[in-house]
Amino acid sequence: MKPIFTLLIWIVITDFALAQWIENVPDAKPGEKVQIESKIPKALDGNATLKFKMLDVCFDGGSHAAFFTRENGAELVLFFPHPGYWSPTAKSSSKQPVAIQGSSFIEIAPDSKLQTRLLELLANDIVDGKHDRDTTLTIIRIRDCLLHRAPLAEIVERYDPKTWQPRDGDGLK
């Protein structure tokens, strides 16, 4: 009985650790869900690099996107959705979901190999010394958000972190 109970506990904990933080998919087709990924894609393995370009607001009510260039010239976009896309669990725990935005959305599983690899790539971009002070501080904020899942300051400015409702008519409900 003890091994079954232990397995049940492990399943519950693992499911929580891989909880889907994004509930609604921006520009989704009916029934489309966000994929949750924990494995490192080949494009980010080995000698991959990321070079930060900019952090910008999306015109969907306050989501933000961090744009990076990879070593092969391709773009990688980290998507930080506003609370209108968050699951109830993400809202109640104030955990910022983060996804890779491409032809589909791939949510980055917390404490996964993918998250660790992205943190490593961001750290390399921070220490290479090719960015000015303000840009470096922005990359550090992005890295810290990915690591701790604390909401981006820009999102907290637009949404009340107690209710995650828009402040003074900002954003979408």
Where along the chain do its domains lie?
2-158
Mean pLDDT, residues 116-128 taken together: 96
Q: Mean of the pLDDT values across residues 18-31?
A: 65
pLDDT-derived band at 25 (thresholds 50, 70, 90) equals low
CA dihedral 167, 143, 44, 27 (to 10 degrees): 0
pTM of this structure: 0.82
pLDDT score at 9? 39
Give every CB contact of residue 103 below 8 A, 6+ residues apart in sequence: none
Residues 6+ apart with CB under 8 A from 31: none
Residue 68 pLDDT? 97
